[in-house]
Every structure is written in structure tokens, then in C-alpha cells.
Amino acid sequence: MKIVALFPEYVEGEENQILNTKKAIGLKPFLEDKGHELVILTDGEADLDKHLADMDIVISAPFYPAYMTKERLEKAPNLKLAITAGVGSDHVDLKAASENNVGVVEVTGSNTVSVAEHAVMDLLILLRNYEEGHRQSVEGEWNLSKVGNDAHELQNKTIGIFGFGRIGQLVAERLAPFNVTIQHYDPINQKDNEHSKFVDFETLVSTSDAITIHAPLTPDTDTLFNNDVLSKMKEGSYLVNTARGKIVDTEALVKQLESKHIQGYAGDVWYPQPAPADHPWRNMPRNAMTVHYSGMTLEAQQRIEEGTKDILNRFFNNEPFQDKDVIVDGGQITSASYNAK
């Protein structure tokens, strides 16, 4: 079989990284030993179209996705499986995949801890006004009033979690020792747990001092945080997004930050990815953005390698995938997360 993979480019000297074009999470010897061909794209997504006609499996990471659109899926008659080397398969047109009988699977749980830790870090960075303090240290300033004017403690704040799956629950668990009030909204998980109380979406938006997003990108969450929703957030509140960039309306966010209705925004997800150099989020006020790496800790990369190989072994041996990993199977979108309203 022909397997096509898109991974971040290898950088000389960065030898710990295994999710790149050189090491490719160990797939080259793994696949060649089984008699399969592995093609690692060397010119990013631009190379993808050259292989649509005869590839059997496509693999990419959400940090550096191969966008499998309806048009591409229809030009890939041999394609049987799209594997996400990580979590989050919104770069695949799931409806078109189901219509073309292409399975979609991901390595569920591989980077949940890493992303949850990153979200907690982002909340602390925003509330403590770390970006301004760090800027002053780099640029030779010492203006304590300017940094202290917008610095807050995390304790006693109300933190809203949008999306209360594996990552959202881990975030709540890690925030609990900070003596905060935690509330969540999730169309699937509408129950309280020991750390968080379920509230409706309107309550989450209007009463949270900070909101952190942990939902998949679906037709229902696409630009859900538009100007109307952002304007209903508390004056001076904060927003963190380590889920998918397109859940937040790009221009509306810039507008709300410029007006200071939203005090700060942090995260590592963009649309599109990789983000162009002139993306407006790179230079908007009071942002603590990074490139998409929250789920790329070395520990997460190891779990991604193990999970991807497990998926491939199951496919080659005609064995069922683990239920938790399946997004599209048998011509249907089977994941509850991607079917939620």
C-alpha cells in the first residue's frame, strides 16, 4: 500500500523531536518492514495533490494538517483511511469522507494532558499580565504601574470551560487547587462533576471571568465565538483557545481586544495552519499566542507514535479500531463529538 504522510519539517540539531519529516514517528522502518511504501511530503501540503490518485492512506498531524477537502477526497479513488497523528480531525471533510467510504481515525488521548497543562499556563499568563512584564524585561523598561495595572490573581475567579470532554475535565481538575469557581458547557456532557458545574452557554459566556475552549471544530462550533458572543462576555474578561482557531471569529476577536472589552487572548491554534506571516492575531493587542504546539510535548509525541502504529497494525490485520479513536467508519460519522448539536 502507498501511505502518504505530512509532518512538520525537520530542523538540524532538534534531535528530540520525532514528529517531523526526518524521524516521521518511526513509520519508515515500521512500514517498509511490512512491505508498504511511505511517501513523506517534502513541500508541505503543496505536494499532496500529486499523490491523490494512488494513495491508500494519508497521515498528518493537526499541528501541520493535510486538508482533505471534498475535492481532494473525490480525486483519491484508492484512499481508504485518513489518520490524524494526534487529536482533532477537522482538517478532513468528514461528511465527504463518509460519502466516499474513507475511514477517519485519530490517536485519542495522546496529548490531552499536554493541552490541558498549556491551557492552565495560558490562563495564568493572561491574568498575571505576563506578556507586558516580559516585554519590559526584554526592551529595557521598568514600569511597574503599567504591568501591575492589569495583573490579577487567579483565585476567586469564575472560569468557564467550553467543551467538557477529556481535555476540559483535565483542565478543571488542574484548576481546582487554585480556589476558583469552575463551570462548563458541553452539549454532550451536561452533568456536574466534583470540580465543575454545568451551565447553559449563555450563562457561561456572560458570567465567566475567563473562558477556555476545549471543543472540536464542527459546523456548529465554526466561528461560534463571533462578535455577538464575544460582546456578551464580561467586560475585561479573558479567552483561551487551545482547541481550533476557527471556533473564534478572526476579525471579531481583534475588534473586541482593540476596544478592551476582552482584556486578553491566548492560545496556540490558528486558521489556517500554518498561519500566514500577516495573520492579524500575530499583532493584535494583549495576546499571548504561540504556534500550535500545546500537544507536541515529547511525551505526547511518543504516545502519538505508539497510537498511530496501533491504528496501522489494526488496519493491516483487518482488526477493529479502538472505539475511542474512530471518527468516521462504514460510511458514517460515528464520533459523538462530531455529531453534537
Whether residues 138 and 270 fall in one domain? yes
Which one of the listed residues 166, 244, 286, 303 is annotated catalytic? 244
Q: How many angstroms separate the first and last alpha carbons of the chain?
A: 37
State the DSSP string of 8-41.
PPP-TT-TT--SSTTTGGGHHHHHHTTT-EEEE-
> Residue 10 contacts by C-beta under 8 Å, 6 or more apart in sequence?
17, 20, 21, 22, 23
Residues 98, 120 within the same domain? no
The reported pLDDT for the residue numbered 137 is 98
Nearest Cα residue to 244 out of 68, 90, 70: 90
Residue 337 confidence (pLDDT)? 87
Instruction: Reply yes or no on whether 244 is catalytic.
Output: yes
User: What's the one-letter identity of residue 139?
Assistant: E
Residues 56 and 187 both lie in one domain: no
Say what the pLDDT of residue 310 is: 98
Give the Cα separation of 27 and 253 in Å (integer): 40
List, in sequence order, the alpha helices (H) in the chain: 27-32, 70-74, 94-99, 112-127, 130-139, 144-148, 166-175, 201-207, 227-231, 250-258, 298-316, 336-339
Please give the tally of structural domains in the chain.
Answer: 2
Which residues span the domain enclosing 260?
Answer: 112-289
| In a shared domain, residues 88 and 234 | no
* Catalytic pick among 169, 273, 287, 301: 273
pLDDT of residue 64: 87
Q: From the candidates 20, 91, 100, 111, give the one annotated as an active-site residue.
A: 111
3-state helix, strand, coil in the chain (%, to 5): 35, 20, 45
List per-block mean pLDDT (blocks of 10 residues) for the chain, which spans 341 residues: 95 94 96 96 84 97 91 97 95 96 97 98 98 97 97 98 97 98 97 97 98 96 98 98 98 98 98 95 97 96 98 97 96 88 59
Task: Say yes or no: 57 and 145 in one domain.
Answer: no
Q: Is 128 a known active-site residue?
A: no
Question: What is the CB-side half-sphere exposure of residue 232 using CA atoms within 13 A?
Answer: 12
Whether 111 sits among the annotated catalytic residues: the reply is: yes
Distance from C-alpha of 235 to C-alpha of 115, rounded to nearest angstrom: 27
- Does the annotation mark 318 as catalytic? no
Please, what is the Cα angle at 176 between 174 and 178, to 5 degrees? 95
Q: What is the pLDDT of residue 45?
A: 76
Q: How many residues does the chain have?
A: 341
pLDDT, residue 181, reads 98
| CATH code assigned at 271 | 3.40.50.720
Q: What pLDDT is recorded for position 156? A: 98
Residues 221 and 301 in one domain: no
